[in-house]
Chain A
Amino acid sequence: MSARIVYIASNTFREAVRDRVLYNLIAFALLMSGAAILVGQISIGIERLVVINLGLTAVSLFGIVIAIFIGIGLVSKEIDKRTLYTVLSRPVRRWEFIVGKFFGLAGTLVVNAFLMALGVFAALLYVSHHFQATDGWVLVALYFIILQFLIITSLALLFSSFSSPLLSAVFAFALFVIGTFAEDLRGFAGLTKGIVRWLATGAAYLVPNFSALNVISSVAHEQPVAGQLILANTAYALVYASMALCGAVLIFERRNLK
């Protein structure tokens, strides 16, 4: 990775921290401690399940909201503040700017998820009084959540490279929702015939598949995740995020910034 990308990434990370993005950790900490203490008193037999389900769902949703709302402003904010011209007047290629922004936001989300994961495990220790071998699968679920972040960050950047922040947010969030139904979409496409089938299947494969990246419920029940799935999901997320990044670079390279 070129040094310029690293500089842009680290600046993006610093900017996110300065924008108080990590303040969401306070809300998360309150949520986890509240859940850990309260659930045992208002429900039966699901203390551990709730800590895992609530903790991982919160990590996922907080991260996706951050990825969308920070991601959509990564390019437009630089244009509005005219700082982009300062950056591009130096020996920085446009693609390096996009890739650097991507890694900067991805890094922010990974740090955020790591700190949240510490909170999840602390709450788990509080309700179970000990860790068990199957808690390791929670780490796999967290890893899949980070893969989701990579995809959604790249999509937010893609939309941000040609659209307004508001529309980019709508597009990115819509794709997240559609992506959770990706497997159903392929099922529906299989029910159609002729050209409609081709079109529907194409659309179903074009949208990101978030459902395969969500194993929260199964790890909460201590069910193992197949190694093959970990590999396939990793490859899929990297390929899909790269594809969206390439799209963002292609559009941004041709964009008239005058």
Chain B
Amino acid sequence: MKPSRRITLTASILLILCLAGSVLLLRQIDRERSGATLEEVLYISSPTLLKRMSLGYDGLLADIYWTRAVQYFGDKLTRGSEHFALLAPLLEITTTLDPHLLVAYEYGSNFLAPKIPGGADQPQRAIKLVEFGIRNNPNLWHLYYDLGFIYYMDLADYDNAEKAFADGAKVPNAHQIMRIMAARMAEHAGNIQTARLMWVSTYQTTRDPLVKSNAVAHLNALQVDEDVTVLEGLASHYREKTGHLPQSFADLEAANMLRGVPVDPVGHTYKLMPDGHVEVRVPDDLPFIEKGVPIGYIPPLKPKLPPVN
């Protein structure tokens, strides 16, 4: 073998070995410093300073920060964390860098406002975020809808919800649902039908499959809550009539109080428990339900959303 060829061969083999060695060493270092790369640190926390430092390329920087916010929230959600200290600052930086990045307001408020485990339980920060969005995009009725939604769903603040929907209804080309929602808030805010209307309108006014799926899951949950209330009422009524609780739904059928075994919105039959309570069979398929939850059930860290079709 010629000397030059030998050198080439040796250098090539060494290069590959060193590359493999550096990868292995880096993995070892990562194991030694587990979590170090995920430290909750914002090296530059001032959105204004970041905007200046972007040299005019703030759109790209906003996209990077938005992706970072999504990754941060997703990672925390998957690990079942209850601390989302960086979420609001990341969203504030994103929207300051690009005040027209609507997706950051719409999803960001949905990350911030809901209670743990589905969200960060920071409804006030969500309101601040959406209000900033409205100031910068005053002609987008969707943002008023999001604001009203947070006031209604997460804070049960019906007065402010009504105001948000009414303000949104005044925006040119606003969806007619805004006027309807404003009226509902004024009259029947705490009503389950209002909650249903809210989720139906969310389903109808969005094109995003993830938001649609979330709306379907909440509508299913509302249906289950309503079904369980009715079925437990029937069981109680049966006891009043017969002096004992029904053993199964067949007893209620025999007493002409039911027509067949009731099924939940995803197609599973309900379970009638010996104490007269009603439970769902597959609670994992019905996230967000408040009634009919089997005793001792632990929900998954990430809610299982239904497919949209």
Residues of A within 8 A of B (CB): 39, 42-46, 49-50, 52-54, 57, 60-61, 177, 180-181, 184, 210-211, 214, 216-218, 220-221, 223
Contacts and interface: CB of A to CB of B under 8 A. Distances in A.
Contact of A49 (B63, B70, B107): B63
A181 B56 CA distance: 9
Interface stretch (B1-9, B31-39, B96-104): B96-104
B59 A177 contact: no
Interface in B65-98: 66-67, 70-71, 98
Contacts of B56: 180, 210-211, 214, 216
Contacts of B98: 217
A177 B56 CA distance: 10
Given A49-B59, A216-B57, A216-B59, A44 B71 contact: no
A41 B59 CA distance: 19
B15 interface: no
Given A53-B60, A57-B60, A42 B67 contact: yes
B210 A44 contact: yes
A214 B58 CA distance: 10
Nearest to A184: B52
B240 interface: no
Interface in B194-215: 208, 210
A45 B71 CA distance: 13
Contact of B63 (A43, A184, A211): A43
A86 to B, nearest CB: 38
A72 B107 CA distance: 47
B181 to A, nearest CB: 24
A208 to B, nearest CB: 12
Given A46-B67, A49-B63, A221 B107 contact: no
Interface of B: 52, 55-60, 62-63, 66-67, 70-71, 98, 100-101, 103, 107, 208, 210
A42 B70 contact: yes
Nearest to A58: B60
Contacts of A181: 52
Contacts of B100: 217-218, 221, 223
Contacts of B107: 44-45
Contacts of B55: 177, 180
Contacts of A45: 103, 107, 208
A188 B71 CA distance: 38
Nearest to A211: B56
Nearest to A148: B56
Contacts of B70: 42-44
A220 B103 contact: no
A119 to B, nearest CB: 16
B54 to A, nearest CB: 9
Nearest to A55: B60
Given A45-B107, A49-B59, 19 more contacts: A39-B63, A39-B67, A42-B67, A43-B66, A44-B66, A44-B103, A45-B103, A46-B66, A46-B101, A50-B63, A53-B62, A54-B60, A177-B55, A180-B55, A210-B56, A214-B56, A214-B57, A217-B59, A221-B101
A212 B100 CA distance: 18
B79 to A, nearest CB: 17
A50 B58 CA distance: 12
A45 B67 CA distance: 10
B208 A54 contact: no
B13 to A, nearest CB: 27
9 closest A-B pairs by CB: A217-B59, A45-B103, A43-B67, A214-B56, A53-B60, A53-B59, A57-B60, A180-B55, A57-B57
25 contacts: A43-B70, A43-B71, A44-B66, A45-B208, A46-B67, A46-B101, A46-B103, A49-B63, A50-B63, A52-B59, A53-B60, A53-B62, A54-B63, A57-B57, A57-B59, A57-B60, A60-B57, A177-B55, A210-B56, A214-B56, A214-B57, A217-B58, A217-B59, A217-B98, A217-B100
Given A42-B67, A42-B70, A181-B52, A49 B101 contact: yes
B52 A46 contact: no
A135 to B, nearest CB: 16
Nearest to A212: B56
Contacts of B210: 44
Nearest to A39: B67
Contacts of A44: 66, 70, 103, 107, 210
A210 B56 CA distance: 8
Contacts of A211: 56
Contact of B59 (A42, A43, A220): A220
Nearest to B52: A181
Contacts of A217: 58-59, 62, 98, 100
Contacts of A223: 100
Nearest to A49: B63
Contacts of A43: 63, 66-67, 70-71
A45 B59 CA distance: 14
A214 B52 CA distance: 14
Nearest to B56: A214
